[in-house]
Structure 1
Amino acid sequence: MPSITRQKLDQAVSLMTESGIDVWLTFVRETSAGSDPVLPLLLEGSLTWQSALLVSRDGRKVAVVGNYDAPALESSGDWDEVFSYVNDIREALVRALDSLCDSVAQPRIGVNFSPDDDKADGLTHGMYLLLQRYAQDTRFEGCFVSAAPLVRALRARKTEEEVERIQTAISHTDSLFSQIARFATVGKSEAEVQRFVHSLIDEGGWGFGWERAGNPIVNSGPDSMVGHGIPSDAIFMSPGHVFHVDLGVVVEGYSSDIQRCWYVPAESETAAPEDVIRAYGAVTAAIEAGFRALRPGALGWEVDAAAREAIQSQGYPEYLHALGHQVGRLAHDGGAILGPRWERYGDTPFLPVEPGHVYTLELGVDVEGRGYLGLEEMVVVGESGAKWLTHRWPQIPLLGGW
């Protein structure tokens, strides 16, 4: 089977006409210090000097890189041609563009910038200024346009192997939740639980779906920092608490992002109390409403609206975030979101759902005096609707500790 990078490069070619560009140009440098988010889809490893990765509408894949970066790209077999330079990339870059656009009088060269999607916005301002300088007094002056439609589609339309890798990450996350349930007992702090999970992730050799300091998010009880907070050494699991964990791991280059919760019972309790059971049922029903609305052609805001209406119809306030985001190389993978029509989300809630997209479905409610009760599932979109990737918990489990 071709490598993931080969699969995605071939997929990029198939997206060129749809995206309305003649050449797609990814322009980077010193990528070990932080790079264009799309780069891991195009190559393994890093690049040092100014580097141009080009894909043409007719299927050619060309790299223009510094002399010491060239051998790794040549040996990968993913690139039809690799041009190296020593002093200045300009001449080699213009020559490559001329070759790729030889039959196009006024080519549209897509580069990676977007006001709405951070994962399609990898071209830094300084590098954009360099491109403009290199294009000056050539036929490519004024030809740069946004490649966001292509980048979004490339990230979002998962190949079979990408979905399999995401499923592997989910399986490992499920295993972590099982171990959390055995470790997390009354009297342990949120931070202790996080450190335990860190040790398991390190032992497995996996990565973190987001920054280590906030992954997993761990909440116990009503005084915990809800959202993207840091687990506390001063908040301890206690009877009557809702215990909530938001966890994402990266395995074989692909991420999971799942939330689970438990009820911490008093010694005499054999079931969760009614207010917790009711909240869990309402959250589950709202997620199911979003799932039913998630189908090809639906707009992200429409899916969000179905879940938002469902939770409010149960007497709970609306959640103050999007219902779901895409997952892939990263836990938050850009592109269309299942979110409300709020300015902060730009155009992303207006993008259509497509087959191959992988989304989270997530929301929660505060249970008075007990804490935050949130769930997050993962789904993949097929031709006729969505399919669950996560194994769902039909009712809130009790956490041990007595």
Structure 2
Amino acid sequence: MTNQIIFDNKKLVAEKVAQATQILNELDVDLWLTFARETTLSPDPTLELIADVDVTWESAFIICRDGAHVSIVGRFDRENVEQLGVYTQIIGYDQGIAEHLRAVLTEKNPRQIALNYSENDVAADGLSHGLFLSLQSYLAGTPYADRFISAEKIIAAVRGRKSTEEIARVRTAVATTEALFNEVEQFAKPGMTQRQIAEFVRGRIDEMGLGYAWPKPFNPIVTCGPDSPVGHAAAGDVVLEKGHTLHLDLGIRQNDYCSDVQRMWYVLDDGETEAPADVQHAFDVVYGAIKAGESMLTPGTPGWQVDEAARDFIVDNGYPEYMHAFGHLLGRVAHDGATVLGPRWERYAGICELPVEVGNIFTLELHVKVPNRGIMSLEEDVLVTGSGVEYLSNAQTALRYIKS
């Protein structure tokens, strides 16, 4: 079942570094510095995009708006960086990085040095406090310690605007996920527990040698009937019963990129050939809300306005509003940082105001509760283009059924 396309990580890094150069020019920023060490213990989320190497000693990856990029790494990490072919100058050091860093900054003389810290975007907050203090120490007595700015806008754009290679990888992961849903439909039967269904899915993922978009013990999320907890709960011993809904939230990691899709079934009761009216109505409203949000998913629209369209549709149709964001970026991880399609609540401050951009891949997701039946929840993965929205998943437009 796994897609046999061979993806090239060097090509991906080259795409993202070229993109970063363009973004620095758009934002009128001279230099972006990713400062890292011991990345197996404390990885900066940005490093996998612009270098995709592990480093041990203190290392500087310097993206410059003129395209003359510099990497300063320990001697024994230099070869891996050279293999990338994207850094014009690679400096390998032995005793310490400070002298080399000061020399490069003196040569570049940037007006601003963008660093990976952010109050709002976790994906842009990879610089530890200790490394920040080290940077201040190394640059003490130079003019550069007073030129630090946050790189959050740069990182939001680099991470959010998916390259051709990234889109292909997400598309592949989504296709594999949808094939797994088809297998679940053949496997699941009344009387099975959530745990049995989840273990079946994890067994198939493991057989294919794939990874998980979020931790395995909580993936997939399996919700059946009115007694299931709603949210990121691990699959338990709730039994799938006739007359109830079955919901799966599944995300795999394939070729370093993720899917995040939710699908819905109704378990036909004795004598039924279709879902009863309350279940069908709930599906229609959830589907309609996703379409309402999709209609607002256009370049330049702030995330909260997209959420508002979906949220208003739910409330206008008599259901309580959902207490989460309508969507998030998808990529290297399920929640890929930066722009959120969420309401203007405190917890989304600074990220729900960010505008939708061409190349963004978002999830569109929400749920309602169906009394005595379970939840009704859908999630689609979509790409924002200059002319509209492209579904990377095959949208679920009709309720699916589990037969006895």
Q: Corresponding residue for 2:107?
A: 99
Query: After the TM superposition, which residues 2-401 of structure 1 pair with which residues of structure 2 at under 5 Å, given as runs?
Result: 3-101=11-109, 104=110, 107-232=111-236, 234-400=237-403
- Give the structure-2-normalised TM-score: 0.95
Query: Matched residues in 2 for 1:44 and 1:382: separation?
Result: 27
1:158 shift after superposition:
1.1
CA contact (8 A) 2:47 2:53 kept: no
The DSSP-based 3-state class of the residue aligned with 1:350 is coil
8 A Cα contact 2:53 2:81, kept in partner: no
| SS of equivalent to 2:274 | coil
SS in 1 for 2:294: helix
Counterpart-to-counterpart distance in 1, 2:255 and 2:124? 22
Determine the C-alpha separation between the residues in 2 that align with 1:12 and 1:392.
32
Distance 2:390 2:11 in 1: 26
Identity of aligned residues (%): 42
SS at match of 1:141: helix
Cα drift, residue 140 of structure 1: 1.1
User: 5+ residue gaps in structure 2?
Assistant: 1-7
Alignment deviations for residues 167-210 of structure 1 (CA, whole Å, 9 cap, x no partner)? 11110010110111111111211111111111111122221111
Distance in structure 2 (CA, Å) of the matches to 1:293 and 1:124: 37
Q: CA–CA distance in 1 between the matches of 2:159 and 2:367?
A: 27
Partners of 1:141 and 1:318 in 2: CA distance: 47
Shift in Å at residue 68 of structure 1? 0.9
- Contact (CA 8 Å) 1:206, 1:249: kept in 2 or not? yes
Say which is worse superposed, 77-86 or 47-56, in terms of deviation. 77-86
Alpha-carbon distance, 1:323 to partner: 0.6
CA distance in 2, matches of 1:279, 1:249: 27
* Aligned partners of 2:170 and 2:331 also within 8 Å: yes
Give the Å deviation of 1:316.
0.6
2-side partners of 1:213 and 1:95: how far apart? 48
Q: Under a length normalisation based on structure 1, what TM-score does the superposition of the two structures give? A: 0.96
Equivalent position SS for 2:43: coil
Whether the 8 Å contact between 1:327 and 1:360 is mirrored in structure 2 is yes
SS in 1 for 2:331: coil
CA distance in 1: counterparts of 2:81 and 2:53, whole angstroms: 9
Return the letter of the residue paired with 1:76.
L
Any idea what SS the aligned residue of 1:348 has? coil
Return the offset for 1:97. Answer: 1.8
Equivalent pairs counted in the alignment come to 396
CA distance in 1, matches of 2:56, 2:75: 10
Contact 1:359–1:380 at 8 Å: present in 2 too?
A: yes
Secondary structure at 2:105's aligned position in 1?
Answer: helix
In 1: Cα distance, 2:266 partner to 2:86 partner:
51
Superposed displacement of residue 240, structure 1: 1.6
What letter is aligned with 1:368?
A: P
Q: Secondary structure at the match of 2:191?
A: coil
Deviation at 1:20, TM superposition (A): 3.2
What residue identity is the alignment partner of 1:247?
A: L
Q: Provide the rounded CA distance (Å) in 2 between the counterparts of 1:213 and 1:35.
A: 22
1:97-138 Cα shifts (integer Å, max 9, x gaps): 22232xx5xx20000011010011111111111111111112
Unaligned runs of 5+ in 1: none
Q: Distance in 2 between matches of 1:24 and 1:254?
A: 24
Letter in 2 for 1:209: A
* Superposed CA offset, 1:200-236 (max 9, x none): 111222211111111111111111111111110x211
CA distance in 1, matches of 2:203, 2:101: 46
Letter in 1 for 2:342: G
One-letter code aligned to 1:62: V
